[in-house]
Each structure stands twice: as structure tokens, then as C-alpha cells.
Chains A and B, each alone.
Chain A
Amino acid sequence: MAESHSGGNGPASNGLGNGVLDSRVPDGPMADKWTDHKFSMKLVNPNNKRRFEIIVVGTGLAGASAAASLSELGYRVKVFTFHDSPRRAHSIAAQGGINAAKNYTNDGDSVHRLFYDTVKGGDYRSREANVHRLAEVSLNIIDQCAAQGVPFAREYGGLLDNRSFGGAQVSRTFYARGQTGQQLLLGAYQALAKQVAAGSVELCTRTEMLDLVTKDGRACGIVTRDLISGEIAAHTGHAVVLATGGYGNVYYLSTNAMACNVTAAWRAHRRGAYFANACYTQIHPTCIPASDEFQSKLTLMSESLRNDGRIWVPEQLDDARSPDLIPVAERDYYLERKYPAFGNLVPRDVASRNAKTVVDQGKGVGPLRNGVYLDFSEVIERDGHPAVAAKYGNLFDMYERITGENPYAVPMRIYPAIHYTMGGLWVDYHLMTTVPGCYSIGEANFSDHGANRLGASALMQGLADGYFVLPYTIGDDLAARLGEPVVPLSDPVFAQAVSEVNDATQRFLSIGGTRSVDWFHRELGKIVWDCIGMERTSAGLEKALSEIPALEAEFWADLRVPGSGANLNSSLEKAGRVADFFELAKLMARDALVREESCGGHFRAEHQTPEGEAQRDDENFAHVAAWEWHDTGTVQTRHVEELEFTEVALTQRSYK
């Protein structure tokens, strides 16, 4: 099933045999795979579970739910977060909701429909068996969360309320006001707190994972830095679970939290875990544009705004007039013009690319000319101020708080921003990476969303992996290792890893250059956004591949990390993360360059239909690209996992 391409220059088999990327998808009909597999997996008897130690890194939805569930089963769990509390993880910021094929609304939803929508929404670049399993366990997630006391929205009869979300024709999204992510995370955090109180989970806060330790090719522990004392220490376990989130911050400006990073996943990658589909990144079209050079983060606003707002830019280039002074004849309602049927409601990627096109033409609005108008004046005139306030009041208030502009009076300014990354560590059906004993769950892995994630599916995947998939699959692999003790911390592999991390830490502190980490991060972000953003070209990607290494060289020569490694030093923390972003950015460019097609979040300008739509190449690229690390300075090797579609027929999207 697997073949290999050498990196950088398109397909060229170098004869890597089958089994390099064994996805371990079980046989049998799609609908029965997971059920049958659960029965056929080896089990660890309850008394023996406590003889296994599992390390979980990250306490977002995936990590907290996995750590809680594993310890409930009886495993001894040690969980790490770089935050001061598990409750701070960025899952908390998800607003919209969580999908589940409950069919409570009686509108024809089913596991198969959720499966179908997710595969289609992922532009046919995800593994069918994983997605089907996700759709199956979505039912259990809602049951679990409701029982945990997550205050989901209710109808007057006391039953759960649903709403509809993009990419689906049924109402299957469960929500808790605009804070669904917060409430689900608190549910998982509380489940974890229960296990910490019971003494079966050891919680290590403000502790960052800086390396994966392997012995004889198998993961046996991690190296961490205590962010307060600076102590670098090793931890041993029978298995390591990475639930460390996505890498959207490689763009510097994104909707991710400031501390989100790729470091844990990347260090695992450097220890042998393949990194898959790095070029699949998702753009959200309705974010608030940056206001100045020092903007540190972008804020997302609900896409529902596009239901009533009209998007336009001035016809005239660099038009400095106030929007109310620009006559309608001199405005370009470009989405309505180009896509008469869908108009302002075209999918996220189409809306985003078109915004970039007009801004690049010089028609951008706002002080930095970096946005497009989202104009509500018509709907305010038609329905009245109170009606609009009732529907969008919260969003309008949030916009006004951030920009200081009253969106009832002047059009909102919006621009796309990165907010999710579909790529990540390659995992098989068991969620195990290519390093045996090392697992990856949640946004950190590549598994379920293909080339594009549907709204309200991120929360679903994180909790599916953590509550209902990993706790089963991990047992199958551990069962075979019963009686094996953990690798003792006295083993030389740990001393070696600790000393390498120490050296790396000292290296940052001793460069003694002139520029801050943030400066390099910002500059890197500009390159990545320009060249590996929402529209990629061969020339742009080549440019990225020449500019990034140059900036990286400057980083290693001119970085200044003040302070010491022996106490809280956020510059030092960031330095390690940005160093990894440099390497990741190069991989993203290479991955995007080899993938000579457009699909989902990956749009290659060379590959579009005459109407400007993404043009997939199913014949050559219906596969997962997973990259194998060799050495610093050497290009990774590209391996492929062919994707077979037995249940869902491949079709081309059109929104004309």
C-alpha cells in the first residue's frame, strides 16, 4: 500500500516496501469495523492495568479526556501541561459547538450521514475507517458530556437543543451558548480533577515536554522542563500520548492562543514519528484584521455573520474615503458578482481566497488596507436595529470592544486568519505514530479531517480520541508488553536525552544576538502567510524554501534570549518553539510543493477549474503524505498512504 517519494521534486519511487505505513485498518464492512475491532483487540485485565504507566502530554479536550479515561480504567497516568492548570488549554476558546449523529431533530441524520459529510467536507483526503469510527462514537460523546454536567443548551421540555452548522444539511450541532469548547473542556478537566483527587493521575503543571525518549525504536518516556524552576527532567512510561494541539501559530498571527506550538509533536517527529499533510491548514474567513505591526493575535467571529452581512470593497484602488461616502456604483460586491447562486455564503476557503485576491489588488480597506467590508447597513434598514441586535448583539459588542468601531454605524472590517491545522503526526487506526508506543490524539494528529475540517468537528474529534478510541486501542498494544517494566530512569537513553535538551537550552541562552524571539516569529509568520497561506504557487513555495532557511540562519546567529534557564523565562520557552516552527515551515512548503493539486485547505493556484475552484487530482494525490525525519539539514523523506474510498464516491465541489 505504501510507496515513497523523495522530498521536494514530485513523485519518484525509491522502492520502500509495503508496510512502512501500515494503517492497521481492520477488515470487514465499514459499519462493523470498529465494533469488530473492539472485540478482536487484546485486553489488559483490570488488575494488570495498574502495572502500566502512561504519559499524557497536553490537557486540552483530547489530553484531559484521555488521561481521565485511562486512569479510570486503572492505568497509572502522569499528565503534563505547560499551563498553570489543565483548564487553560486552547480547546476552551472553541465557540460554535460539537457535532453528533444523534438525530434528535428527526431530520434524517445518521452515523452514515455524519461520516459522509465529514469525508466530503475533508475533500476526500481522509481515511474512511477513521472517520466512520468518529461518527460512531460521536453519539457516546454527547451522552458522556451530558452526564458530566456540561450545561448544553436545552429546549423547554428539558431535552437537548441542536443547531445547524456549515457543511451539513441537518441540525446536529450541540452547543452551550457561545462557549461550547469551554464547557466541554471544563467537563474533561473536572473528570481529570476527579482522578487526580483519587490519586490515580499525577498532574504536572507548568511543565513543558521538550523531547521524546526512545529505546530500541520504542517510545519509553519524555524529557520536560519545569517552567518555574527550569529543571530539566526525564519521565518514563510504557506509552507516551501526545495531545498537544495544532501548529497554526507558525503563521505568527492566528486565532490560536499565544502558547500554542508544534514543539512536542515536532520533537517526536525528530525521533521518528512521521509528520503528515503539513500543508493542510484551515483559514477562517471572518476574523478581525490586524490593526498594527504589534498585533499579537487575531480574533475570530462567528461565520453566521455572513448570513446577513454583504461583503464588498471599493472599486477604486487605495480608496481612503469613509465607506458611507462611497456610492454603491463604486463598490465591488465581489462574492455576489462571482458566485451569484451562493453569494456571500460560499464556503470558507472560497470566501477567504477571494478576500485575499481583492486585498492583494490594493482594494483593501481599513487603516492598513488589510480587510474587506462586511456591511450590515442594508439589513439594519430592512429589519431594524433591534432585530439585528437580537441576532448578532454579542458579536457586534465583541467587534466594538476590539476595534473601537460601532458596526451598527460603519461596516465591519474582516479578513481571513488561520485557525486550525488538519495536518499533524501520522497515526494508524490505533492512533499510534510510526514510533511504537507513541500515540497522538486530537488536533496534534492528522487523522480525521482530511484536507478540510467541518465546523463543530474539532471538539468531536478531540473527545472521540480521548474518551472512546485511545483507551481501547492502547490496551491492544500494551497487552503484549505485560510484565515488562518501564525503562528505568537510570538507563543511558534518558541521560543522553536530558543532556541534549540541556545543551539546546544553553545554546539559546548563549547566542547573545540582538533580536527578540518575537521578532523572528513575526518575520517567519509573514513568509509563511504570504507563501504557504490560503493560496500557494510553485514560485511562492520555492521562495519560502529559500527565505525561511535564510531567516532561520539569522535566528541562530542573532537571537537574544535574556535571563537564565533556572527560572521562569518566557523568552527561552518561545525560542524553542520558534526554532521548531522554522523546521515545520520548511516541511509545510515542501509538502505543499509536492502536492500538485488543490484540495480543501490546500489551494495551488496552478490547479484550479476554469471558474477558479479547487481542482483535485484524485488519480495522483488521493493519498496521505507522511514525512520521515532524517537529520537536521537533511530533507525529510515523503511516504504515502494511499486512500481508498469504498463508501463515498469522489465528486468535485461547485458553488456557482
Chain B
Amino acid sequence: MAPTATQAAGSAPVFKTKRPLPFPLNIYQSAIGRKWVMAWTGIGLLGFVIVHMIGNLHLYEGPSRMYEYAETLRDLGGGLLPRTLLLWIMRVGLLAMFVVHLHSAYTLKERSRLASERAGFVGGAKKYASKRDYIAANYASRTMRWTGPIVGLYVLFHLADLTWGWWLGDAYVRGDPYHNVVESLSSIPVAIIYVVANVALAVHIFHGTWSMFQSLGVNNPRYNGLRRNLATALVGVVLVGNLSFPVLVQAGLVDEDNRDCPVNDTTGLECLEKEAGAH
């Protein structure tokens, strides 16, 4: 860069340029590239959320159908692959997307914080003394950095709750998802956590869905309105689906009253397997 006689203070870079990594890793080194990766991982995670929600609708078909769905997931890949291998591959992939999504979000947030810090002497981070009068930024876009962590923590809770069975203790039956879900969601605090977290997830998805087209640069001015509608529709579907589980369990519409099989990890599972086989 050519020197300027006055060496204006504003010409001093705020961020150091890093040594470029080999292609395609260098894409992730730039903020725009990172947003691009964030959008792709967001799409992946969003896909998971939708599929997961649809899959969970099996809950309404009763314990054996739910058992069958869970077994099908474990059997993915048919006889070609060892049992649960494909599921594990998907889980690892999902985890990787999750980690990358989180990492990009955190580092980009840090970048923006640094770009705004010491911007003035009001506060430190970018703040204006007068209340900021936002025009375009909506609640969803401004709270991504809150809804994100809420969803993250919720995922951990959700795994601990229904995959690892930390909360239910003896009541947890590995391999009987119907029972576990109903058991867990019958507790009012747990139901509240699920409701709150899913609302946060919906808010997060709302901005994310609109935003990913922008980050990927696949927008067209003609379809800008459509993007907003798509975001709203997606959020509606995910929200209704996911909230239906805690709400209906709490309302007593989903319970174990009509269950034929016993609840345990021996005879209970055998019974479920038999029922499933009869379908």
C-alpha cells in the first residue's frame, strides 16, 4: 500500500491479514467465505431439524411405530453396511456441521465486536448514546447471537434427556423412545424448556432462512418477497410440529394408557419388536 503523507489514523488496519491456507480452506479464512460456510451448515442443520420433526410425528402412531422408526434409522444402509454405521456417519456429519456453524458464528461475532470496539467512548463496544432506532433489523436478526446459544444448550439438554437418559434415571428405557418422550415431557419444567427452546429455534430459523440466500448470493431482487414468505412458512411448520409434542403430552392426549407392551428394556423391547414386525 502506498504511503499517504498524512498517514490518516483511519488507514491503519483493524485486523491482521493471516497467511493464506491452501484452497479451499482459504475460503473459510475470510468473513464472507465463513458466512458462506455458515449458510451451508445452516442449510444442513435446518434439513436435520425438518427431518427430525417429521420423523418424530411417528409418536402419534403409538409406541411400536415409534420403535420401528428408531430401528429403521439404526438399520439405514440395509445389509450392506454394519448396523448403525450410516447413522453414526450422519451423526458425526451433523456434529461437524454443528461445530463449524458454531465456530463461524462465534468468530464472526468476535470480528464484529472488534470492528466496533473503541468506536467511541460511549460504552466501549459499538453503542450510540441515543437509543438506536432500528429500521430494518428485526428482532430475529438482532437476537441470532442469543437464540443460537439457547438452541445449542437445548441440543445438549435434549441429548442428555432422551439419548443418554441422564434425567429420567431408572425410568429411562434405552430403545423405547415413545416411553422416554412421554415420560420426559410429562414433567412441566421439561415441557417448558422444550417450548422455550423451540421458540428460540424458530426465531433463529426465521432470520437464518432469509439470510442464507443473501450469504450464498443466490438471491434475485424479484424473489426477495418470496424469501421472506419461505422463511415464515418454514418457521410455521417447524414450530407447529415441534411444539405439538410437549403440548399434546402435557394435555394428556399422548400418553401410555393404551400401551400393550410393558415398559422395560427386556420383555418390553421384545414385545415392541414383535408388534413392529406385525406391521
Contacts and interface: CB of A to CB of B under 8 A. Distances in A.
Interface stretch (A90-98, A198-206, A555-563): A198-206
Contacts of B2: 196-199, 201-203
B3 A202 contact: yes
Contact of A197 (B1, B5, B6, B8): B1
Contacts, number: 30
Interface in B75-92: none
Contact of B6 (A198, A199, A206): A206
A553 to B, nearest CB: 36
Contacts of B5: 78, 202-204, 207, 226
A228 B6 CA distance: 9
Task: Classify chain A's interface size.
Answer: 10 to 19
A197 B2 CA distance: 6
A140 to B, nearest CB: 27
- Chain B contact residues: over half helix, strand or loop, or mixed? loop
Contact of B4 (A198, A203, A229): A203
Contacts of A205: 4, 6, 8
Interface residues of B, number: 7
Scoring B1, B2, B4, B5 by chain A CB atoms within 10 A of each residue's CB, the highest score goes to B5
Interface in A178-208: 196-199, 201-207
Interface in B83-120: none
Contacts of A202: 2-5
Contacts of A229: 6
Interface in B1-33: 1-6, 8
Interface string A54-94: 00000000000000000000000010000010000000000
A17 B4 CA distance: 46
- Chain A contact residues: over half helix, strand or loop, or mixed? mixed
Nearest to B10: A84
Contacts of A199: 2
A196 B5 CA distance: 12
Contacts of A198: 2
Nearest to B9: A228
A206 B1 contact: no
A317 to B, nearest CB: 49
B3 A206 contact: no
Contacts of B3: 202
Contacts of B6: 204-207, 226, 228-229
Nearest to A224: B5
B102 to A, nearest CB: 38
A63 B218 CA distance: 41
Contacts of A84: 8
Scoring B1, B4, B6, B8 by chain A CB atoms within 10 A of each residue's CB, the highest score goes to B6
Interface string A196-238: 1111011111110000000000000000001011000000000
B7 to A, nearest CB: 10
Contacts of A226: 5-6
Interface string A259-278: 00000000000000000000
A204 B4 contact: yes
Contacts of B8: 84, 205-206, 228
B243 to A, nearest CB: 48
A78 B3 CA distance: 11
A564 B192 CA distance: 65
Contacts of A78: 5
B138 to A, nearest CB: 28
A190 to B, nearest CB: 15
A485 B259 CA distance: 102
Contacts of B4: 202-205
B229 to A, nearest CB: 31
A229 B4 CA distance: 14
A24 B8 CA distance: 42
A77 to B, nearest CB: 11
A203 B4 CA distance: 5
B179 to A, nearest CB: 67
Contacts of A201: 2
B80 to A, nearest CB: 57
A537 to B, nearest CB: 47
A307 B4 CA distance: 48
Nearest to B11: A205
A524 B188 CA distance: 81
Nearest to A206: B6
A78 B4 CA distance: 10
A78 B1 CA distance: 15
A650 B8 CA distance: 53
Nearest to A199: B2
A201 B2 CA distance: 8
Contacts of B1: 197
A199 B5 CA distance: 13
A160 B6 CA distance: 40
Interface in A18-67: none
A482 B2 CA distance: 26
A432 to B, nearest CB: 25
Contacts of A203: 2, 4-5
A204 to B, nearest CB: 4
Interface in A395-428: none
B3 to A, nearest CB: 7
A328 B256 CA distance: 92
A197 B3 CA distance: 9
10 contacts: A78-B5, A84-B8, A197-B2, A198-B2, A199-B2, A201-B2, A203-B2, A205-B4, A206-B8, A229-B6
Given A84-B8, A202-B3, A205-B4, 4 more contacts: A202-B2, A226-B6, A228-B8, A229-B6
Name the 4 nearest CB pairs between A and B, nearest first: A204-B5, A199-B2, A196-B2, A203-B4
